Homo-oligomer: A and B are copies of this chain.
Amino acid sequence: MVTKNSAKIATTEASWRRIEPLELSPILQAALEGFYDNGFHGTSVRDIARRVGVTIPALYYHHQSKEGILLALLEISTGDVLARAHTASADGGDDPCDQLTNVVEAIVLRMTTRSRLAALEGEVRYLSPENRQRYRIVRKGIEELALGIVSDGVERGVFSVADTAETTRALLAMCQSIPRWYHAEGELSPEEVAKKYAEIALNTVGYKPRRKRTR
């Protein structure tokens, strides 16, 4: 858990802003590349084993099935975004505006630097109902975090929206779609995209800064 104190430390460190590659096992890395290049159904267990240079039994020693590999990738990716989003929110202290700005930046930084993992979201429909449910629980964590911030901002009169839940969903969707167009070699750095989306998010929630008190 992030305590008030560790949140303060994070302000200096801002660990959620640091972009580092997500460490994946060789099998997961190979599967990720296969799924990205040819889709879940276009990639066989044999293809994955060949990419990583292990035998098929060796692969099954680590993972029950190809679907298990997809689920593992989705859980690692979403779990990492969730952890960073929580740290980012805590780093925003008690201000819904700072919290939302940080959470959107944290998510966008991930989206711009992990386009392959983010693109896996489209393969979720191939999971079995049970595995889809398992994945949804992790994903729900992100939705609930964002929803909490938006609701709090609305209650405190700094945000103004017609539908809190739908607005939150729309906000997350715009962040999630970034891997579809973002290219690392393009004009914008991940940090610039993150800043832009934080501004768009504040508009979307109808943010109205409180008038500063004059003494």
Contacts and interface: CB of A to CB of B under 8 A. Distances in A.
Interface of A: 36, 38-43, 119, 121-123, 125-126, 160-163, 166-167, 169-171, 173-174, 176-178, 180-181, 196-197, 199-200, 203-206
13 contacts: A36-B125, A41-B42, A42-B42, A121-B180, A162-B200, A162-B203, A166-B196, A166-B197, A167-B203, A170-B200, A173-B177, A174-B174, A174-B177
A171 to B, nearest CB: 8
Contacts of A181: 169
A186 to B, nearest CB: 13
Contacts of A177: 173-174, 176-177
Contacts of A40: 39, 42
Nearest to A40: B39
A161 B160 CA distance: 16
A38 to B, nearest CB: 4
A196 B168 CA distance: 12
